[in-house]
């Protein structure tokens, strides 16, 4: 085979591989938010290893940056019920932590229920692990927001995603209490 044909074949193969690895856009209603959404990218992994998983990837080396890949839904059909958001997660080179989170807001934008899985953080590079968040949706709720959070550098994948109502026998997740603020200064 002539050298220029070999180069052309190699270039074509490289282009095909690059196209195969190009992520697909997020499904409707999924978007990136958080403290530093501009420092992250998100999409759907089209590689054989990603199997269509949604991902959130740091674009910078900022170890203090964080963002979340989220979907909001109207709370109306879930009022007075208990809901669970669950997914399997895997990470690569996460420098802070990654996990799931969910929040329930009122019409006024006040958060009435919140939980994230920081008590079970995924750090560094991990295989697939299931996480879930369970919250009650009060009668005054307007919006439920749920998704994956990534802190620092690296990437988190999330699949399959499930959002469902559950019975009262499934316990609600509660954030650990914050340390009490002292009434007098420590000098």
For residue 110, the domain's CATH number is: 2.60.120.260
Q: What is the predicted pLDDT for the residue at 15?
A: 35
Is residue 185 domain-resident? no
**What gap in Å lies between CA 34 and CA 41, rounded to an integer?**
12
Does 186 map to a domain? no
- Does 12 map to a domain? no
pLDDT of residue 21: 59
- In the chain, which residue ranges form alpha helices assigned H by DSSP? 3-21
Split into its structural domains, the chain has a count of 1
Please check whether residue 149 is in contact with residue 37, taking contact to mean a CB–CB distance below 8 angstroms: no
Measured CA to CA, the distance from residue 47 to residue 64 in angstroms comes to: 28
Residue segments in the chain with a per-residue pLDDT below the cut of 70: 1-21
Residue 51 belongs to some domain of the structure = yes
Distances in whole angstroms, Cα of residue 59 to Cα of each of 17, 25, 32, 78, 179: 21, 16, 13, 36, 34
User: Is 153 part of any domain?
Assistant: yes
| Within a domain: 41 | yes
Residue 55: domain span: 23-166
pLDDT value of residue 127:
96
Q: Hey, what are 143's tokens?
A: 């919006």
Is residue 10 situated within a structural domain?
A: no
Cα Rg of the chain (Å, integer): 20
Look at residue 16 in the predicted model and tell me its pLDDT.
38
177: in domain: no
pLDDT on residue 70: 98
Are the beta carbons of 90 and 128 closer than 8 angstroms?
A: yes
């Amino acid at each position: 085979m002539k050298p220029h044909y070999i180069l052309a074949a190699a270039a074509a193969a490289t282009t095909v591989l690059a196209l195969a690895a190009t992520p697909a856009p997020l499904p409707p209603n999924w978007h990136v938010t958080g403290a530093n959404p501009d420092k992250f990218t998100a999409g759907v992994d089209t590689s054989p290893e990603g199997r269509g998983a949604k991902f959130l990837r740091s674009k910078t080396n900022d170890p203090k940056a964080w963002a979340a890949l989220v979907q909001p839904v109207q709370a109306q059909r879930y009022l007075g019920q208990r809901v669970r958001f669950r997914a399997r997660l895997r990470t690569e080179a996460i420098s802070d932590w990654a996990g799931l989170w969910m929040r329930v807001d009122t019409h006024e934008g006040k958060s009435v229920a919140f939980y994230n899985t920081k008590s079970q953080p995924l750090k560094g590079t991990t295989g697939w692990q299931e996480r879930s968040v369970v919250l009650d949706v009060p009668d005054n709720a307007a919006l439920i927001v749920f998704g994956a959070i990534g802190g620092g550098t690296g990437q988190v994948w999330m699949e399959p995603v499930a959002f469902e109502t559950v019975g009262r026998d499934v316990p609600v997740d509660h954030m650990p209490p914050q340390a009490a603020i002292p009434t007098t200064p420590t000098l």
